[in-house]
Amino acid sequence: MKKFKQYGQRKEEEWEWFPWLPWWPPETRPPFKIRTRPEDIAPFFFVEHHPYALSLLLKISDGLKADTFRKIGLKGSSKDWETLVTGFIEEWEENNSGVDMFHFDSDEDVFCVYSQYIDDISLFSKLLRAACNDEKRLYHYLDRGFQKLNEQN
């Protein structure tokens, strides 16, 4: 398992350049304004990669919704979470502007989705956490995720 700070981390030259933000030197970029309270998304949590991005993490050992995954023959692994969130992202992209805004950097111990679009991932985190309280929605997102991944292969 990596240190939490390493999830969603890229080399400096790999980050996307936003012309509306000061780019160089990186320390001239304004600090993040994360409008999501940690208690609203727990057990998910954020790791900041200022000045570039924000990662949303979930420790797989927390077992969030593991029973829901098991009902359909999955384990609740980080790969299962990536499938679910792939479906969530696809719906997000249909209802909001922008594609390719979110990226994964998970391993067997930690699920990680990250983005340079701080406001989007902040709202995304709240909506994802709310979806976790609705088993039907979780199955819907898993189904969409499986369809999307099958299309890519």
Residue 31's pLDDT is what? 66
What's the average pLDDT block by block, 10 residues per block, for the chain (153 residues)?
76 61 61 83 90 89 94 95 95 81 94 91 93 95 94 82
Distance of CA 70 to the CA centre of its chain: 22
| One-letter amino acid for residue 32 of the chain | F
3-state secondary structure of 64: coil
pTM equals: 0.84
Beta-strand ranges (E) seen in the chain are 45-49, 53-59, 103-104, 110-115
Residue 107's pLDDT is what? 95
Q: Are 53 and 116 in contact (CB under 8 A)?
A: yes
Residue 8's pLDDT is what? 75
Residue 15's pLDDT is what? 62
Helices (H), 2-131: 38-41, 66-71, 78-95, 118-131
Report strand pairing: 53-59 vs 110-115.
Answer: antiparallel
For the chain, first and last CA: distance in Å? Answer: 28
